[in-house]
A = this chain, B = another copy of it.
Amino acid sequence: MSFGTRRCILDFIPDIIMLGKFCVVGFVRLRRQCVQQSVASFKWILKHKKFPLLLLAAGMTSREVFMEGAQRPRFMAEPITHRQKLRNAKDMKARMELLIMEIQYEFCQALEAEEKDGKFKVDRWERQEGGGGITCVIQDGEVFEKAGVNISVVHGNLPPGAVAQMNTRGKKLSGTSLPFYALGISSVIHPRNPYVPTIHFNYRYFEVETDTGTQWWFGGGTDLTPYYLNESDAIHFHKSLKDACDKSDKTFYPKFKEWCDKYFHVTHRGECRGIGGIFFDDVDYPDKEGAFEFVKTCAKSVIPSYIPLVQKHKNDGYGYKERQWQLLRRGRYVEFNLVYDRGTKFGLYTPGARYESILMSLPLTAKWEYMHVPEPGTPEFKLTEILKNPKDWLRWSGAPRFSRCVLYTDVKNSCIICESSQSELSTFPVLSMILKIAQGA
């Protein structure tokens, strides 16, 4: 059953309950009416026109009825947890589920706006062991070759393997059954144009009941995988993430940027998957509220960090060579996801896991050529060099650090001598311009 067809009376019940005592009375009367007449659908209301009357009787104007509908957050599908439970503003599980539902809807809307005629296919699935998810996919679109935005809300008892894995990274989980609750949003967008980078983001919340009480933490991150390096894109992307992090704590961005470079590392090739971003796990500081606010700000920064890059490059011209390079890089993406990514491995090894939602992150097409090495000096080579030596993209943002970049104008020889390399300078537009003027003089 699609989402549209479920917008019946049952969908409105939690709203009505929230409006106060009178409304609950109204609701109960309505339901009794429904049962008596054996009509539980919206058609009944339309036909009998009793629903608005009941609400009005409860002290609500028709404008309020309209506003209530307008303010209701819009989702891609019915949430996994019942809407009534989600109204519990104090429970972090409920707040996080509402957040990821909202982020999923907003991001899908933003992507659809860039795609011609493309609409997300929405799959709401349930997990036999507890919970479920909503997987939204665009496949073979004009702009997005494969775009997946997935949320999952799962609970059950932690398998011993997962406990051992968590304890190795410093957790102290003790107990026999260890009931857990995990929920998050995860997305990978593989655009068709090789000049539009691939983005991945994932924000999640975890709760586990141990012998010593409830433990909880947040994890997540956003990272970019370009096929051709555009330095101003890289700076824009990292700047957006830094701004988001800075709202919570100025130390977060440098710490989580470094963690990202370390995590998304294709060790056997000695290179990073992309140009990084932020990555964090086990965040339970400064407190639950503060950690949630941080995650929320990061998740909300995905659209402004990425959509401008799609708009900028989606109509760039490219040929066979660029496409082949993109496919080879997508092969590296597959290598990382299947060999190293903790989330993918954990997912695939979990019995009863919905593998289609886990493997949604894989590109539509990928290539592996034996011993492919790009020619030095080419744009392809330039990218691999950056992947081997992750860069601090925001080193030049804000005020230039002249202690690191000393310029000597040598008018006689019409050039600028500086302590930093030219490629570093080119990331800072003003200095780059001075350099060009001087070289052209």
Contact = CB atoms under 8 A, between A and B. Distances in A.
A359 B328 CA distance: 13
Interface in A323-358: 327, 331, 334-335, 338-339, 345, 348-349, 353, 355-356, 358
A362 B331 contact: yes
Interface string A249-293: 000000000000000000111000000000000000000000000
A166 interface: no
A360 interface: yes
B369 A364 contact: yes
Contacts of A358: 268
A191 interface: no
B339 A371 contact: no
A285 B349 CA distance: 34
Nearest to A334: B334
Interface in A361-389: 362-371
Nearest to A345: B339
A432 interface: no
A371 B327 contact: no
Contacts of A365: 327, 365-367
Contact of A339 (B267, B338, B363): B338
13 contacts: A123-B371, A137-B370, A139-B369, A146-B368, A146-B370, A267-B348, A268-B353, A334-B334, A334-B338, A339-B345, A359-B368, A362-B368, A366-B366
Given A363-B368, A365-B365, A365-B367, 5 more contacts: A137-B370, A334-B338, A364-B369, A366-B366, A366-B367
Interface of A: 121, 123, 135, 137, 139, 146, 148, 267-269, 327, 331, 334-335, 338-339, 345, 348-349, 353, 355-356, 358-360, 362-371
Chain A to chain B: the 6 pairs with minimum beta-carbon distance, closest first: A338-B338, A362-B368, A268-B355, A268-B348, A137-B370, A338-B339
